Amino acid sequence: MRHAISCRRQWSAAGDALSRAVLIAFVLVNLGMVAWSGVRLGGDSGIYIDGAHALLSGQPLTVRQPSYAGYIAFVAFFQAIGAGLVGLVLGQVAMATAAAYAVYLIARQLGGPLAATVAVVMAAIDFDTNRWQAFVLSDSLYASVLVIGVWLV
């Protein structure tokens, strides 16, 4: 019994260190992707950028913009502090990193340190989800806030 507890503690410490390394790699890979591709625009990017401009100039949101008021406010925040679209994308990378950490915490609570390590590795290597951090689109932030919200509940 003591050996099993000792092994679990050792895995817990090793898993925590590995998970921290994975999160650091996650940030570096995402920053590398942004450096390589730059800020990317998608079909709805104009709605968000124009909406941010409207918010910052005291104008109302129009047409479809009110449906995306939260993301438009996020874009406007980075515009207001002078960080521009690069700052927005870096903010999305930060939120995605927080979400990956939330995945780790959820899995650790539900399944222990091994499950947490596997979960954070899976979140970090999910290219199909992670590629959206470089886009001025609501997808990345929505996914991150969803995961963080689940962890908070």
pLDDT tens track for 82-141: 999 999 999 999 999 999 999 999 999 999 888 998 999 999 888 888 889 999 999 999
Name residues whose C-beta falls within 8 Å of residue 15's C-beta, 6 or more positions apart in sequence: 113, 114, 116, 117
- State residue 83's pLDDT score: 96
- Residue 9 has a pLDDT of 55
Phi, psi of 64 (to 5 degrees): -90, -10
Position 78, amino acid? F
Tokens linked to 51: 């909406």
145 close to 138: Cβ distance less than 8 angstroms:
no
- Cα→Cα distances 22→14, 71, 86, 148, Å: 12, 28, 24, 18
C-beta atoms surrounding 59 within 10 Å: 11
| Tens digit of each residue's pLDDT (9 = 90 or more) over 112-127 | 888 998 999 999 888 8
Span 32-71, pLDDT tens digits:
888 998 999 999 999 999 999 999 999 999 999 999 999 9
pLDDT band at 7 (very low <50, low <70, confident <90, very high): very low
pLDDT digits (tens, 9 = 90+) for 11-20: 566 667 888 8
